[in-house]
């Protein structure tokens, strides 16, 4: 669902600046909505108090799917439907022969599943439109964004904190955006 | 926690080799010798009972390739030799692994490890001593004096001799005493030269750039650049020469058998046990109050390394096993037959449990990689598992089924060699600054953050 929302954001020039600003904000009651950076800034997740990603759970489910797919495929084709004798190995259930296919299908399903889940969740997959807050966020600048409808947000305080920590400018915008 | 401001503090500590640690190493060494001696002297009595079954097993298992078909000699002494070779080879691998860790990080321009770089560097100090023991036990004793390597028996290459073996005669250009006692020491000498250079340059670097501790920046990377070049050469050279070492020292115990993946398999053993050792030593030294600039972030990355290369080892292990199992060629299958349809079967199963399942399950989650207690369990499983792996590579080929009795000699050899390894390690560590204070990447290492 998309609706009209108001944001306040600061633009930073250096990863250290946004990291310091995030630590400064963390010691107040204000809550950062999100940060947009051209590359992964180490430690920023911790500074923003971001909850641990649940991508690992997705990875496990995807891996299990791939494993079960591999087992059932091989069982059906090699044991149930048309038992095959290759190299005199037991036709019933030659477990070692199952290993490579299980391994590969587990890896394949985990990798693709995690990738697609991530793109879906980050709204960057083909066919999904996401509002761009500030053109520089996809170039070489670091954006820290607050939701102005948050009751705990003290606009003056976050503006000052961002400026003190080297924000080039602090802006307020109103735009159509997705709601969590 | 790594804030943005870059005030780094590297306490310029010096490791002190305390008398307690010295005593511990001495006790390990003495205990090892005593256990070996007692095990050897009392071991003779049991050899007659097991001898018959051992020979029987070997004959059925190796009907296709009549290896060890000649009489077995003194099995008790063979077992002693195999255990000494195992201990010498295992600790030698750890020495190589320490050097490989430093070299590969240099070549990769890595920075995160610099804070605890002295640990692998001190491990590599065991390289010369380990090489001497390996050549003495494997080459002089195993090849030269007692001919425990099947291919070193007198007359193997002479037609008409009772020991003549056509296959081994064909391999004699490689499997001979000159290669073992001549070429291997030359390789090891070159390795030692590089190890020594890296140490000397690293120490020179410590005293060269006095600006950093006063808050300045590093401008002189002369020593580091030299180390990178030497490391790049050594890794290239090591790749070939370590393969030759693994073939000669371990694979040639079963001289008829061959596996093209064997050297990378031995390398996997080397690398995983090295990572586990570095991590365990780091945890120990941190508990003693050293390495204050190394934190959970570094340990997390070391844990990831252990986890990842545990899977690497398993991948290589499965690759070797699966192809041989599937192809079912008699000259290849004998190797696994002697390890599966014999008293070695429990070791074979323990191999997968200790080297794969235990560390894989324990080190899977993030918090377990950062928790010293879980890492100690996983690391111990890896180190015991790698001993077990080497035991399976060496023992069945030397003693047949007899050696699968687990006893004092097995403990003795490990105590003896790890006692020496620890002594050399602590001694080398106490001679250098604990943090390479003028390393170009020391700042990066102290500020290292895995991000989650």
Domain spans, chain B: 30-446
Confidence grade of residue A179 (pLDDT, cut at 50, 70, 90)? low
Phi/psi at B87 (5° precision): -60, -45
Contacts of A97 in chain B (CB under 8 A): 322, 326
Q: Which of A23, A43, A97 sits opposite B326 (nearest CB)?
A: A97
Burial B273-310 (b: 16+ CB within 10 A, else e): bbbbbbbbbbbebbeeebbebbbebbbbebbebbbebb
| pLDDT tens figures, A90-105 | 766 778 888 899 999 9
pTM of model > 0.80: yes
Chain A nearest C-alpha distance from B299 (Å): 16
How far is A1 from B174, CA to CA, in rounded Å?
A: 73
Q: Which of A20, A43, A97 sits opposite B449 (nearest CB)?
A: A43
Chain A nearest C-alpha distance from B449 (Å): 6
Per-residue pLDDT of chain B (452 residues; tens, 9 = 90+): 444 445 566 767 789 999 999 999 999 999 999 999 998 888 764 444 444 444 444 444 444 334 443 444 588 888 899 999 999 999 999 999 999 999 999 999 999 999 999 999 999 999 999 999 999 999 999 898 888 898 988 888 888 888 888 888 888 889 988 899 999 999 999 999 999 999 999 998 888 766 555 556 666 788 899 999 999 999 999 999 999 999 999 999 999 999 999 999 999 999 999 999 999 999 999 999 999 889 999 999 999 999 999 999 999 999 999 999 888 888 899 999 989 888 899 999 999 999 999 999 999 988 999 999 999 999 999 999 999 999 999 999 888 876 557 788 999 999 999 999 999 999 999 998 898 888 888 888 988 888 77
Q: Does A37 touch chain B (CB under 8 A)?
A: no
Q: Does A57 touch chain B (CB under 8 A)?
A: no
Q: Which of B51, B73, B55 is nearest to B63 (CA)?
A: B55
Chain B nearest C-alpha distance from A46 (Å): 7
Q: Which of B268, B313, B278, B272 is nearest to B299 (CA)?
A: B278
Q: How much is the pLDDT for A176?
A: 81
Q: How many CB pairs under 8 A join A and B?
A: 44
Give the chain B residue nearest A51 (alpha carbons): B452
Q: How much is the pLDDT for B219?
A: 66
Q: Cβ contact (<8 Å) for B328 and A45?
A: no
Give the chain A residue nearest B1 (alpha carbons): A43
CA atoms lying within 13 Å on the CB side of residue A169: 5
Q: Does A19 touch chain B (CB under 8 A)?
A: yes
Contacts of A96 in chain B (CB under 8 A): 321-322, 325-326
Contacts of A44 in chain B (CB under 8 A): 451
Cβ pair A138, A162 in contact under 8 A:
no
Q: Does A16 touch chain B (CB under 8 A)?
A: yes
How far is B59 from B53, CA to CA, in rounded Å?
A: 10
Cβ pair A43, A174 in contact under 8 A:
no
B56: CB partners within 8 A, 6+ apart: none
Chain A nearest C-alpha distance from B105 (Å): 21
How far is B374 from A142, CA to CA, in rounded Å?
A: 38
Chain A nearest C-alpha distance from B323 (Å): 10
Cβ pair B99, B144 in contact under 8 A:
no
Q: Which of B2, B6, B318 sits opposite A43 (nearest CB)?
A: B2
Q: Facing residues of A171 across strands?
A: A9
Q: Which of A20, A52, A97 sits opposite B3 (nearest CB)?
A: A20
Dihedral (Cα; A79, A81, A84, A90), 10-degree rounding? 20
Phi/psi at A132 (5° precision): -100, 120
User: Which helix (H) or strand (E) is A12 found in, with range?
Assistant: strand A2-12
How far is B251 from B257, CA to CA, in rounded Å?
A: 8
Q: Does A40 touch chain B (CB under 8 A)?
A: yes
What chain A holds in terms of domains, given with CATH numbers, is 2-50+129-178 (3.30.70), 55-121 (no CATH)
Look-up: residue for tokens 């993946």? B261
Q: Cβ contact (<8 Å) for A42 and B321?
A: no
Dihedral (Cα; B294, B295, B300, B305), 10-degree rounding? 0
Burial B88-99 (b: 16+ CB within 10 A, else e): bbbbbbbbbbbb
Contacts of A53 in chain B (CB under 8 A): 452
Q: Does A88 touch chain B (CB under 8 A)?
A: yes
Interface of B with A (CB under 8 A): 1-6, 318, 321-322, 325-328, 449-452
């Amino acid at each position: 669902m998309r609706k009209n929302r108001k944001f306040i954001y600061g633009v930073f020039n250096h990863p250290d600046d946004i990291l310091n600003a995030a630590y400064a904000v963390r010691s107040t009651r204000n809550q950062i909505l999100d940060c947009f950076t051209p590359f992964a800034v180490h430690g920023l997740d911790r500074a923003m108090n971001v909850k641990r990603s649940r991508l690992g759970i997705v990875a496990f489910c995807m891996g299990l799917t791939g494993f079960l797919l591999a087992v059932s495929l091989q069982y059906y084709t090699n044991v149930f439907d048309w038992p095959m004798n290759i190299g005199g190995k037991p036709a019933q259930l030659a477990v070692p022969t199952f290993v490579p296919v299980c391994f590969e299908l587990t890896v394949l399903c985990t990798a693709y599943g995690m990738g697609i889940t991530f793109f879906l969740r980050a709204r960057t997959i083909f066919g999904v439109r996401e509002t761009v807050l500030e053109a520089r966020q996809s170039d070489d600048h670091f954006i820290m964004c607050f939701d102005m409808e948050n009751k705990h947000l003290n606009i003056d305080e976050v503006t000052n904190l961002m400026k003190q920590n080297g924000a080039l400018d602090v802006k307020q915008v109103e735009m159509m955006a997705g709601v969590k | 926690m790594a804030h943005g401001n870059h005030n780094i503090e590297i306490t310029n500590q010096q490791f002190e080799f305390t008398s307690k640690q010295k005593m511990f190493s001495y006790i390990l060494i003495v205990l090892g010798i005593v256990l070996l001696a007692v095990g050897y002297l009392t071991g003779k009595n049991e050899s007659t009972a097991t001898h018959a079954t051992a020979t029987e097993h070997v004959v059925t298992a190796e009907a296709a390739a009549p290896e060890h078909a000649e009489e077995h000699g003194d099995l008790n002494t063979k077992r002693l030799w195999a255990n000494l070779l195992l201990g010498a080879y295992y600790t030698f691998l750890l020495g190589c692994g320490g050097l490989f860790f430093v070299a590969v990080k240099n070549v990769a321009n890595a920075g995160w490890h610099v804070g605890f770089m002295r640990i692998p560097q001190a491990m590599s100090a065991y390289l010369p001593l380990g090489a001497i023991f390996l050549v003495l036990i494997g080459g002089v004793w195993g090849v030269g004096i007692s001919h425990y390597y099947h291919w070193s028996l007198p007359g193997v290459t002479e037609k008409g001799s009772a020991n003549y073996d056509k296959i081994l005669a064909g391999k004699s250009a490689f499997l001979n005493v000159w290669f073992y006692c001549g070429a291997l020491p030359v390789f090891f000498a070159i390795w030692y030269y590089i190890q020594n250079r890296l140490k000397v340059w690293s120490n020179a670097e410590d005293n060269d750039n006095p600006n950093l501790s006063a808050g300045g920046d590093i401008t002189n990377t002369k020593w580091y650049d030299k180390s990178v070049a030497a490391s790049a050469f050594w890794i290239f050279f090591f790749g070939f020469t370590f393969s030759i070492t693994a073939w000669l020292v371990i694979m040639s115990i079963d001289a008829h058998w061959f596996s093209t993946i064997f050297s990378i398999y031995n390398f996997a053993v080397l690398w995983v046990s090295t990572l586990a050792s570095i991590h365990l030593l780091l945890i120990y030294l941190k508990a003693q109050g050293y390495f204050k600039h190394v934190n959970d972030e570094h340990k997390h990355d070391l844990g990831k390394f252990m986890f990842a290369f545990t899977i690497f080892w398993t991948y290589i292990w499965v690759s070797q096993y699966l192809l041989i199992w599937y192809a079912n060629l008699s000259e290849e299958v004998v190797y696994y037959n002697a390890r599966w349809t014999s008293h070695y079967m429990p070791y074979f199963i323990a191999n997968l449990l200790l080297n794969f399942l235990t560390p894989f399950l324990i080190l899977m989650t993030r918090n377990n990689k950062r928790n010293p207690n879980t890492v100690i369990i996983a690391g111990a499983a890896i180190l015991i598992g790698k001993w077990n792996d080497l035991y399976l590579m060496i023992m069945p080929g030397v003693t047949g089924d007899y050696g699968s009795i687990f006893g004092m000699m097995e403990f003795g050899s490990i105590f003896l060699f790890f006692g020496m390894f620890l002594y050399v390690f602590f001694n080398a560590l106490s001679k250098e600054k604990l943090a390479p204070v003028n390393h170009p990447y020391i700042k990066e290492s102290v500020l290292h953050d895995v991000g989650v």
